[in-house]
């Protein structure tokens, strides 16, 4: 337990520092957007390439990815049901039940708690989710955005083009890094005698770039929490409770059922649970034009982020006591 607490001290410190610097005006919105680009285009791709380049490409990896992909879709269907039962905003509630913020939060937390050398377990859990967000969720968001702006003048207008989605996905630095990592793993198993393998020329560079991930993510998350207010967030809190309860149930099925049936190591199940504890993707409010809608989504993301950090901390403490760490 002490080890987990010590590992989280720098995480909490940097998150609080990000909030303070944002409040005091040391960080502006433009500066934080720049930090996000550093994470998305440089630090996170380095982490992902490292993680996937050492994976063993086999059938069970694809099965787990497809399962997580399907689980995201199943949660979206439940989100639609809950939005009707509890009169929560639609379609925002449906969007918020799909996907997880692995890039801007999950990898940073997992590395801080479980170490850079074990990030491949989280990357394996995240693979199906990344594909889901860039395809299914992105298609829903873009179509809803077009409808909101009155772009649906005829049945053909506002239609999401599969080619455009595929292009956006393939040009994403995250997807490129994953693809290159998987190719490297397939052609150079174990990264033996490669520049990115043990003792290789690129190892110091990749390690240095990867080390930027957790501190930058924590500062960005802290900036996002600087205006968090508990008052007047009843519906947002209700959605967080519903989503987290649903995600825990679905995550347990994937972690203890599918992951164990595929004979993954115990830490793989833990990585799956960390993924399913995370908040929805932070990109969702970008596609919502209504101020009221965006305020609701931002409240959900802020509250869920705080709850997720606490929940992941408890999970790490429990798994540490069980000897998984």
Residue 320 has pLDDT above 80, yes or no: no
Per the CB < 8 A criterion, the answer to whether 28 and 94 are in contact is no
Residue 57, pLDDT score? 80
Taking residues 41-64, report their average pLDDT.
91
Per-residue pLDDT reduced to its tens digit, 122-163 = 999 999 999 999 989 998 988 887 776 665 454 444 566 677
> Could you tell me the pLDDT band of residue 303, with boundaries at 50, 70 and 90?
very high
DSSP-H helix ranges across 225-261: 234-252, 260-261
Taking residues 16-31, report their average pLDDT.
92
- Between 159 and 110, where is the model more confident? 110
Residue 170 has pLDDT above 80, yes or no: no
Question: Which tokens in the block code for residue 193?
Answer: 């005698």
Domains of the chain: residue spans and CATH: 2-321 (1.20.1530.20)
Cα–Cα distance for residue pair 178/181, rounded to 1 Å: 5
Q: 222-258 in b/e burial notation, b at 16+ Cβ within 10 A?
A: bbbbeeeeeeebebbebbbebbbebbeebbebbbeeb
The residue among 79, 179, 82 whose CA lies nearest residue 134 is: 179
Residue 22 has pLDDT above 50, yes or no: yes
Q: What is the pTM of this model?
A: 0.91
Residue 311 has pLDDT above 80, yes or no: yes
């Amino acid at each position: 337990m002490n080890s987990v607490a010590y590992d989280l001290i720098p995480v909490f410190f940097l998150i609080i520092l990000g909030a303070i610097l944002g409040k005091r005006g040391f960080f502006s919105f433009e500066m934080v957007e720049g930090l996000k680009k550093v994470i998305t285009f440089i630090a996170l791709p380095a982490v992902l390439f490292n993680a996937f380049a050492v994976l063993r490409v086999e059938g069970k990896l694809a099965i787990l990815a497809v399962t997580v992909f399907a689980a995201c879709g199943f949660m979206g269907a439940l989100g639609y049901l809950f939005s009707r039962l509890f009169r929560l905003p639609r379609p925002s509630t449906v969007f918020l039940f799909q996907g997880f913020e692995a890039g801007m939060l999950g990898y940073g937390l997992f590395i801080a708690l479980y170490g850079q050398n074990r990030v491949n377990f989280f990357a394996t859990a995240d693979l199906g989710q990344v594909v889901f967000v860039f395809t299914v969720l992105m298609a829903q968001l873009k179509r809803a955005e077009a409808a909101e702006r009155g772009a649906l003048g005829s049945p053909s207008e506002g239609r999401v083009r599969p080619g455009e989605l595929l292009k956006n996905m393939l040009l994403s630095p995250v997807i490129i890094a994953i693809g290159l990592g998987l190719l490297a793993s397939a052609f150079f198993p174990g990264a033996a005698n490669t520049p990115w393998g043990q003792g290789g020329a690129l190892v110091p560079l990749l390690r240095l770039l990867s080390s930027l991930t957790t501190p930058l993510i924590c500062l960005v998350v802290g900036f996002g929490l600087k205006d968090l207010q508990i008052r007047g967030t009843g519906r947002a809190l209700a959605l967080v409770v519903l989503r987290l309860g649903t995600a825990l149930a679905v995550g347990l099925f994937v972690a203890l059922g599918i992951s164990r049936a595929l004979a993954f190591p115990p830490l793989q199940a833990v990585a799956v649970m960390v993924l399913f504890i995370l908040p929805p993707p932070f990109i969702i409010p970008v596609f919502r034009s209504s101020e009221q809608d965006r305020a609701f989504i931002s409240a959900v993301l802020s509250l869920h982020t705080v709850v997720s950090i606490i929940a992941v901390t408890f999970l790490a403490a429990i798994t540490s006591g069980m000897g998984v760490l």
